[in-house]
Structure 1
Amino acid sequence: MQRKTNTEPLPHDVIEHILEKLDVKTVLKFKLVSKQWNSTIQSRWFQERQLIHRKQSGNPDVLLVSILTNSISLEAMRTLVLGSSVSLKIPTPWENIYYNVGNYSCDGLVCLYDALVSNPNIVVNPSTRWHRAFPYSTYQLLKMRGKLKESAHLGFGKDKINGTYKPVWLYNSDELCLNNKNNNAPTVCEVFDFTSNAWRYVVPASPYPIYSWQDPVYLDGSLHWFTKDETMVLTLDLQSETFQVMSKTPFVRRKDSRRKVGMCNLADRLCVFEEKWANQMIWSFDSDQKIWKKIYSIDRLMTSPINTSLSLKPLAVVDNGKLLVCEAAGIGVELLIYDPQTKSYDLAYTCNDYMTASHLCYFQSLISIF
């Protein structure tokens, strides 16, 4: 007897579960299979599920933004897969433009801005190459006109309740070279709304001045800064757009500490770090007990006997508790993987260029903003 061949297709929900587990590059190819597949892949529900699987599948990728090469030419972006010695250029429409970027991505999206305020702000998905430009804030226009004493850093995060993404400028009022007698607030906060394509002020802004040199750190629906007068963490809830002080950090602020302390997001935990001579300590905030717990203590003389003038920049927790860090090394930058068990490190990647603008970790996603 001839066996009857089953030509019935798989149920679409089964197909969805299969597609969710694929990488972005492969998923994009399947958009051409049918209108139904294309509609599924473009749905926000599917994109969020794909991102969850990506985060569960392994280590993040590393994004290198605005590399000045030895040939004195600018590249917009490169990406590095951990475990590989090769970095791949990401083609973009804005080659030969220098951009700044914060130290963490949000859902695979990265927010870029020009510190010299000569090019538009851009939010980009490095995996799909989707991007969207958005206008300057009042802060940037003041910066362009020389009305600011110091430079602040742009924050970028997500309102988890409404699912909206928000670029944020927070800067100190006393940094404005203007007459602010009628402005008693110590800070000014601007938030961009992608729906109206416009900036608006958050009132009241933070009651605490901040350290403007710090990159805001995004975590779990909020942005975080160091306060200026005391060593505390200031939090902006992106849903309610209200500020509160979380906790004092375990170290005391010093006037010369700009290059010795910092804040980061490690494995979805808010962390702060400080270097004292040849030791760098990293603490994680326990949100249940409201205390800081030391999670790493790095002997810099062992991991980096040559250069201890700058702190290591923690990027991500990888390979079951190992720490991926970035370190300036002469005219280049090295990515190191520190093993707290053996107190040793492996070289993950070396960039032998004159300068790299920034390194950050991200998980590939299909998400965009419209």
Structure 2
Amino acid sequence: MATLPVPGDLIPEILSRLGVQDLLRFRCVSKQWCSLIDDPDFIKLHLSRSRKTDTHFSLVFKVCHLIPVDLNSFVIPPMLNHPFSDEAFCTEALGSCNGLLALHNGEQDIVLWNPLKRKSHMLPFNEIKFPPYFCFLQFIVYGFGHDPISDDYKLVRMVQFDGRDDDSFGSEVKVYSLRTNSWRRIKDFPFYLYKRADGYLQGECGVLANNALHWVVSKKPKSDTRSFVVAFDIGTEEYRVVELPDCLDQGFRMNVKSLDGSLCLIANYCEIHVVDIWMMKEYGVKESWTKLVSFNQSKPFDFVLPLAFSKNGDQVLLNIDGNEVVWCDLRSKRVEKTRFRCLSGAHMLVESLVPLNDNDAVINKKVMARKRRREMVRKSRKKKNTKRFRFRVWNIEKAGKSE
């Protein structure tokens, strides 16, 4: 029986349902397929379909090791071989957007990376400049997202300075644009990044939801001032206060997180061991805040962060205190532990074909130069230690002869 040819207009629809690794192999089928898979419209179609159908998603934990976790099977594959894998420093993921990860390996080493395509782009170094009368660098926080208007990926770096008295602080905010491959300074952040009395900073990485980055802030540096949520619009680069539910009680620790693309507010009532998780169903509409889940525990949690919904949507995956991952049933409120132990924060990663201005050669050259410098320092120290040892032996022998 003869097989009928597939209509040409169905090929993009079929291919858009496949994973990135399969598509990268299929680029070798023909020039026509290679051109199709590399086409910006197809890349957007594939990304949109993956996000709508909740397919090709993973969790990447941010501190020390980049470990992807498959949400469907919850099997932990080997650690990702990221651009800083051979470095001795601690690598962190600063944010994830449309399949791209922003990685941080010290203030001088920041890279954008597509793990599935194994492509990366090193950001140019940008010096932090201290403003007058502010000599204490308090915080450096980042946020990563996509500007749909200009189709540009932006990394926000927010530096906060403390003054000589309790109420004075300053900031330096700069935005990196992938399109122009450059940093530029924007207007200062007029709020104080909220820090609890125990020194824990709420939301070190900006929470991405509805093309905006979100942080928990206060108006003054004092830890007893009331906290609220501020958004940074990636497109307009303006700050705005996010209205919170009216029915919130007092005396809770506030945090924010993105869940299924929506902004979530976590109210942790530590004294009574209750955690409420609210979701903003319609972004920017105060009345759309809906309590997703509320549960009691036998012991207080330092923090609870939602990570993802289950495939059928009746459970939510929670990160508890940075060392435990559990499933929470939205109806029964029952908590089921998983075998996985979380490594602090986590970012949702969707497979994508989003391209980068590839400069892996620059990264490899920089890494090799740093290795050579470390090796030279090691040899220099070894040589000095050898000379000291020989000198010490000579002195001992000289003293023996004199006796």
* Band the TM-score falls in, shorter-chain normalisation: 0.7 to 0.9
Structure 2 equivalent of residue 110 of structure 1: 101
Residue number among 339, 342, 359 corresponding to 2:332 in the alignment: 342
SS in 1 for 2:66: strand
SS in 2 for 1:287: coil
Structure-2-length-normalised TM-score: 0.73
Structure 2 equivalent of residue 266 of structure 1: 259
Structure 2's unaligned 5+ residue stretches are 196-200, 220-225, 358-403
The within-5 A match list for 1:286-301 is 286-287=282-283, 289-291=285-287, 293-301=289-297
Letter in 1 for 2:98: D
Moved more, 155-164 or 227-236: 227-236
For residues 184-230 of structure 1, the C-alpha deviation after alignment (integer angstroms, 9 at most, x for no partner) is: 99532100022332211113x33333337322111222212223124
Identity of aligned residues (%): 21
Q: Are the structure 2 counterparts of residues 99 and 138 from structure 1 closer, same or farther at C-alpha, using a change threshold of 3 Å?
A: same
SS in 2 for 1:111: strand
SS in 1 for 2:52: helix
The reply on whether 1:217 has 2:210 as its aligned counterpart is no
Structure 1's unaligned 5+ residue stretches are 68-75, 178-183
SS in 2 for 1:365: coil
Residue number among 154, 166, 175 corresponding to 1:191 in the alignment: 175
Q: 1:279–1:297: 8 Å Cα contact kept in structure 2?
A: no
| Deviation for aligned residue 1:233 | 2.3
The reply on whether 1:29 has 2:19 as its aligned counterpart is no
SS in 2 for 1:153: strand
Structure 2 equivalent of residue 207 of structure 1: 190
| Deviation for aligned residue 1:249 | 6.0
Moved more, 52-61 or 19-28: 52-61
Structure 2 equivalent of residue 162 of structure 1: 150
Residue number among 61, 67, 71 corresponding to 1:64 in the alignment: 61
Structure 2 equivalent of residue 369 of structure 1: 356
Residue number among 141, 150, 167 corresponding to 2:138 in the alignment: 150
Q: Are the structure 2 counterparts of residues 244 and 66 from structure 1 closer, same or farther at C-alpha, using a change threshold of 3 Å?
A: closer
| Deviation for aligned residue 1:100 | 2.1
For residues 325-344 of structure 1, the C-alpha deviation after alignment (integer angstroms, 9 at most, x for no partner) is: 11247xxx322111121111
| Deviation for aligned residue 1:298 | 3.3
Structure 1 equivalent of residue 41 of structure 2: 45
Structure-1-length-normalised TM-score: 0.79
- Across the aligned residues of Structure 1 and Structure 2, the Cα RMSD in angstroms comes to 3.0
For residues 18-47 of structure 1, the C-alpha deviation after alignment (integer angstroms, 9 at most, x for no partner) is: 100111121111011011111111122111
Structure 1 equivalent of residue 276 of structure 2: 281
Structure 1 equivalent of residue 16 of structure 2: 20
- From the CA coordinates, give the structure whose radius of gyration is larger: 2
C-alpha separation in 2, matches of 1:217 and 1:85: 24
Q: 1:191–1:201: 8 Å Cα contact kept in structure 2?
A: yes
Residue number among 226, 229, 233 corresponding to 1:233 in the alignment: 229
Q: 1:99–1:357: 8 Å Cα contact kept in structure 2?
A: no
Q: Are the structure 2 counterparts of residues 37 and 349 from structure 1 closer, same or farther at C-alpha, using a change threshold of 3 Å?
A: farther
| Deviation for aligned residue 1:159 | 0.7
| Deviation for aligned residue 1:253 | 8.2
Residue number among 313, 316, 319 corresponding to 1:323 in the alignment: 316
Indicate the structure whose relative CO is greater, using CA pairs within 8 Å and at least 6 residues apart.
1
| Deviation for aligned residue 1:299 | 2.3
Letter in 1 for 2:59: V
For residues 218-267 of structure 1, the C-alpha deviation after alignment (integer angstroms, 9 at most, x for no partner) is: 1222212223124332222222222222324655787xx7xx42111112
For residues 30-82 of structure 1, the C-alpha deviation after alignment (integer angstroms, 9 at most, x for no partner) is: 01101111111112211111112112333631112344xxxxxxxx4221112
Q: Would you say how many aligned residue pairs link Structure 1 and Structure 2?
A: 330
C-alpha separation in 1, matches of 2:99 and 2:163: 34
Letter in 2 for 1:365: S
SS in 2 for 1:232: strand
